[in-house]
A and B are shown apart, each in its own frame.
Chain A
Amino acid sequence: MKTPKELYYTESHEWVKVEDGFAYIGITDYAQDSLGEIVFVELPEENEQVNQFEEFAAIESVKAASDLNSPVSGVIVAVNEELDDNPELLNEDPYENWIIKVELEDETELNKLMNAEEYKEHCE
């Protein structure tokens, strides 16, 4: 299972990467593996507000639907629309394929997330 060092992680298996005040958010390798084949992603709209640890999208595998929770708060500035037609990208490379890009509101929220080491332990 891959857990890149430069990312922060939630207990509900989302990751966030912070770059120039923006947060890129996706699901972890562990999440895609336990969900199995992802066949649909219900994406939010741009300009919607998301709040830390609250639902922002839903992801559907063959078998079931699961909610995604945002690791940070902020306004959505971009949505990865490629996932509309190719949801399986999340299985193929969950870290390369972010789901939403958020304008980071409060950097201190990152303190409430796990680093790679802590997340690895959490998954065991």
Chain B
Amino acid sequence: MKKTVLHDNHVKLGAKMVEFAGYHMPISYTSITEEHMAVRDRAGVFDVSHMGEIVIIGEKATDFVDYVFTNNVRSMTANQVLYGMFCEADGGVVDDLLVYKINDEHYYLVVNASNIDKDLTWLHKNNRFGVDIIDQSDATSEIAVQGPFAESMLQKATDYDLSTLRFFTFDDMVVYDHDVMVSRTGYTGEDGVEIYGSHEAIKDIFERLLADNERLTPCGLGCRDTLRFEVALPLYGNELSHDITPIMAGYGFAVSFDKGDFIGKDVLKKQKDDKPSRRVVGLEMVDKGILRHGYAVYSGERQVGHITTGYIAPTTGESVAMALVDRAHAKKGNELEVAIRKRRVKVKVRNKKFYDKNTKQ
């Protein structure tokens, strides 16, 4: 199993470690709920070094990224970040990712750890633009600092004026004497940053941020999932997959049809115009229990979908879930049932945003 540069720090901090995407990663240090609330109320730091970083360089880099990515790359300015997907011709999602534009001939793609190899194969297969595709995942470490105090904590470690770093932009800066790249992005629904750098730089920044900020909480992958879930951010493999297109999942904002050809465009456009056959919706529990990924959703005796992610939302205490259901049953207020082990419980369709984001828009 692979280890990130922060592995020994996690163990020393008493983390419960699990295997995730081939890495030995912390699931939590104290408790998922405590870490979750630390990010909502103060700030938390996450090791996300397992994420993949792929660099695209070439004269036709813009043409290439615009062709493989669902969102509008030509509209991007330098130092901007854009969220979107790689899709197959049938609209199925290969991966969801962030695209960082360095300049017209240079892009930085941040992809899911479990999809790095698949993404690379797919990018090479579709490289009819002669660009260089460079996997920098093993040479790059990454931490995320998230929460209302994230900016002020990081500000103490850099001369760069972070108040000028707008949501979904990035810049190079010096943090605790290290040259790193910082973006105002995250996966929690809170304000915050993600920091990319060499292994040595990230290890030192992680340690010094924790030493200098008593109210900064080390956070594991457990609360990373509950945080993104509450604000309806998708997880690849749950809300997006080879079978679940961005249109079905309700992330049409990340698919731009006002641009040239891109892989999957025709199918996704048709799906948007005709309305998709299935949709990702929010569900709330009417009875008791917790809705888990994979549980079947029923209308009477007919299975009409499945749970993609479910929890007792730590911030609100509600037992809620996201589920992929047939469109006929996707209307808000509609009552459905879910099979939990030997029981059937009643659930109700609702908006899937269980908690409002506090990001700096």
Contact = CB atoms under 8 A, between A and B. Distances in A.
A63 B341 contact: no
Contacts of B311: 62
A29 to B, nearest CB: 15
Interface stretch (A10-18, A33-41, A69-77, A99-107): A33-41
B314 interface: yes
Most buried by B among A62, A64, A65, A84: A62
Interface in B1-37: 16, 27-28, 31-33
Interface string A42-56: 100000000000000
A62 B292 contact: no
B290 A63 contact: no
Nearest to A63: B222
Nearest to B32: A62
A62 B288 contact: no
Contact of B31 (A36, A40, A42): A36
B260 interface: no
Contact of A42 (B27, B33, B289, B292): B289
Contact of A65 (B28, B226, B290): B290
Contact of A40 (B16, B32, B226, B312): B312
Nearest to A33: B16
A37 B33 contact: yes
A63 B273 CA distance: 37
Interface string B183-222: 0000000000000000000000000000000000000001
Contacts of A84: 288
B289 A62 contact: no
Interface of B: 16, 27-28, 31-33, 222, 226, 288-290, 292, 311-312, 314, 340-341, 343
15 contacts: A36-B32, A36-B222, A37-B31, A37-B32, A39-B312, A40-B288, A40-B290, A42-B341, A58-B341, A60-B289, A62-B32, A62-B33, A62-B314, A64-B292, A65-B290
Given A36-B222, A40-B288, A64-B292, 8 more contacts: A36-B28, A42-B340, A42-B343, A60-B290, A62-B311, A62-B312, A65-B292, A65-B341
